[in-house]
């Protein structure tokens, strides 16, 4: 069943959460590709009308093009949406990384980054009106090898490989569009040149395809306040990770795992917006609250990392502090980890970016703002705005999705409500012109 009057193809589609934004803006996803069968299966359950191509995109280009042409049946493809893997993207600046690789100081380039360079071959055969990439901000400085094995900037190379398109990119904070989650992503839009040439506004400023910001952490006359965790999930039933009875509710997916006693002790003594690594003395006869807090510093190699000298015993009474440690009975030592591990979320802010470890208290700022536990899967679904859309957590054979698959699907996608706003703006600014162009051609014929 068609969902609208636009036609799309989705590459690196995963479970299809990002494609909810396409469907909600009136785009029918004709063909999708995904490497992992289980994620492809959940995509197929939620998009039964889509032709799913499962496997390595490097080996499936012909299949994707053939299936797309068959389903297009002579019609124009409006958008090709690509979300290549981001795990290999570097946080280093382009120049620094290039020097490091050339000087032999860096490891070989991550081969996953090269996957994006296979998209232009599909684009040049299908000739979509728009090509949209979504990835981490670090994509802007990522290096890949060109056809001559020379190191080049990925985005510049994509532009070279698609000469019939003009590209623009922007790092977008999804919280700035009312999403209750702080998640920065690089959105790259390539517009076909013939479409762009008929849009005088975009010719001079292609960045107008991006929607204007609506929310801010510094609201005023123009911007509304960011949407916080408390106002998004604060109404849900209370859970406590101390035992099975208090760790569950009647709401589907609103449950958490029971924490082992030691971890519960750390979390239950952690203050709002603080890490358990900063916990102070809880000995009733002492309660000293000026023990050295955790922090970061540069090691001998100049790398910024968490301190290893943070005390685990109270400097006044020598009691063990409720800080993350390993070892037992006098042999404890500080657990290695980021300073944001075992940290309570701030209820007055949007959530930090949800990751594939969102259900674990040791993950980055994933302790509930006021309750002694991590986020439940249902809370993650709400904060990720999936509950704004129709979605079924099942595989194509009707089997229920595992908690692991749900975490991975959320952590490796972006909030569809924010992407819906972005797509709506892109379509309005770029494709409305194409519709006028096509109408003129029809009348002339």
Residues 204 and 429 sit within 8 Å (Cβ to Cβ): no
- Indicate the number of domains in the chain: 2
> Does 244 share its domain with 206?
no
> Does 247 share its domain with 218?
no
> Does 137 share its domain with 168?
yes
> Does 257 share its domain with 334?
yes
Cα radius of gyration (the chain): 24
Give me the pLDDT at residue 298, please: 62
> Does 133 share its domain with 277?
no
Strands 333-334 and 215-216: unpaired
Q: Any idea what the CATH number is for the domain that residue 204 is in?
A: 3.40.50.150
Q: For residues 198 and 430, what is the distance between their CA atoms, to the nearest angstrom?
A: 10
The count of other CB atoms within 10 Å of the CB of residue 138 is 19
- Among 375, 398, 431, give the residue marking a domain's end: 375
Is position 232 within any domain? Answer: no
Is position 228 within any domain? Answer: no
Is position 258 within any domain? Answer: yes
> Does 270 share its domain with 193?
no
Strands 165-173 and 184-192: antiparallel
Give me the pLDDT at residue 350, please: 97
Distance (Å) of CA 380 to CA 69, 353, 418:
37, 10, 15
Give me the pLDDT at residue 37, please: 97
Task: Name the residue range of residue 334's domain.
Answer: 237-375
> Does 354 share its domain with 429?
no
pLDDT digits (tens, 9 = 90+) for 346-402: 999 999 999 999 999 988 889 999 999 999 999 999 999 999 999 999 999 999 999
- Among 328, 353, 375, give the residue marking a domain's end: 375
> Does 218 share its domain with 242?
no
Low-confidence ranges of the chain (pLDDT < 70): 1-4, 86-109, 297-306, 433-445
**For residues 324-343, b (16+ Cβ closer than 10 Å) or e, as one string?**
bbeeeeeebebbebbbebbb
Is position 391 within any domain? Answer: no
Give me the pLDDT at residue 300, please: 59
Give me the pLDDT at residue 295, please: 78
- Among 349, 375, 401, give the residue marking a domain's end: 375
Give me the pLDDT at residue 387, please: 98
Give SS3 for 97.
helix
Which tokens hold the place of 58? 């490097």
> Does 160 share its domain with 271?
no
Residues 178 and 232 sit within 8 Å (Cβ to Cβ): no
Which tokens hold the place of 270? 């952690």
Q: Angle CA(432)–CA(437)–CA(439) in degrees, nearest 5?
A: 95
Is position 438 within any domain? Answer: yes
> Does 369 share its domain with 425?
no
E strand residue ranges, 317-416: 325-326, 333-334, 351-352
Give me the pLDDT at residue 439, please: 40
> Does 216 share its domain with 120?
yes
Is position 79 within any domain? Answer: yes
Give me the pLDDT at residue 308, please: 77
Question: Can you list the alpha helix ranges (DSSP code H) found in 138-199?
Answer: 154-161, 193-196
pTM, entire model: 0.90
Residues 411 and 356 sit within 8 Å (Cβ to Cβ): yes
Is position 400 within any domain? Answer: no
Is position 267 within any domain? Answer: yes
> Does 320 share its domain with 351?
yes
pLDDT digits (tens, 9 = 90+) for 105-158: 455 567 778 899 999 999 999 999 999 999 989 889 888 889 998 989 999 999
Exposed/middle/buried for residue 19 (C-beta within 10 Å: 0-12, 13-18, 19+): buried
């Amino acid at each position: 069943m068609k969902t609208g009057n636009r036609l799309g193809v989705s590459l690196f589609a995963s479970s299809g959460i990002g494609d909810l934004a396409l469907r909600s803006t009136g785009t029918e996803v004709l063909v999708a590709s995904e490497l992992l069968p289980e994620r492809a299966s959940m995509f197929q359950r939620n998009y039964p009308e889509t032709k799913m191509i499962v496997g390595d995109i490097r080996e499936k280009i012909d299949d994707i093009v053939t299936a797309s042409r068959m389903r297009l049946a002579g019609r124009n493809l409006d958008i090709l949406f690509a979300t290549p893997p981001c795990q290999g993207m570097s946080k280093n600046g382009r120049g620094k990384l290039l020097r490091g690789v050339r000087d032999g100081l860096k490891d070989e380039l991550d081969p996953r980054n090269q996957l994006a360079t296979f998209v232009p071959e599909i684009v040049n055969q299908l000739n979509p009106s728009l090509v949209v990439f979504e990835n981490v901000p670090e994509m802007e400085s990522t290096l890949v090898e060109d056809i001559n094995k020379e190191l080049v900037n990925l985005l510049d190379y994509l532009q070279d490989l698609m000469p019939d398109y003009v590209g623009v990119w922007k790092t977008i904070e999804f919280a700035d569009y009312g999403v209750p989650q702080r998640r920065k992503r690089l959105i790259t839009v390539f517009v076909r040149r013939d479409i762009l040439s008929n849009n005088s506004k975009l010719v001079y400023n292609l960045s107008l395809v991006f929607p204007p910001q609506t929310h801010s952490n510094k609201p005023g006359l123009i911007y509304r306040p960011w949407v916080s965790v408390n106002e998004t999930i604060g109404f849900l039933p209370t859970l406590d990770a101390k035992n099975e009875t208090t760790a569950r509710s009647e709401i589907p997916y609103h449950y958490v795992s029971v924490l082992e006693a030691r971890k519960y002790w750390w979390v239950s003594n952690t203050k709002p917006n603080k890490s358990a690594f900063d916990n102070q003395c809880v000995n009733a006869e002492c309660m000293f609250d000026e023990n050295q807090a955790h922090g970061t510093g540069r090691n001998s190699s100049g790398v910024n990392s968490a301190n290893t000298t943070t005390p685990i015993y109270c400097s006044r009474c020598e009691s063990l502090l409720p800080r993350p440690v390993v070892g037992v009975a006098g042999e404890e030592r500080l657990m290695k980890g980021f300073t944001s591990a075992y940290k309570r979320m701030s209820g007055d802010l949007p959530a930090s970016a949800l990751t594939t470890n969102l259900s674990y208290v040791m993950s980055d700022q994933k302790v509930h703002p006021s309750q002694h536990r991590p986020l439940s899967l249902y809370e993650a679904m709400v904060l990720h705005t999936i509950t704004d859309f129709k979605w079924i957590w099942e595989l194509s054979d009707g089997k229920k999705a595992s908690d692991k698959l749900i975490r991975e699907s959320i952590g490796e996608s972006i909030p569809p409500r924010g992407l819906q706003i972005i797509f709506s703006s892109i379509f309005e600014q770029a494709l409305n012109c194409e519709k006028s162009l096509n109408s003129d051609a029809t009348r002339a014929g």
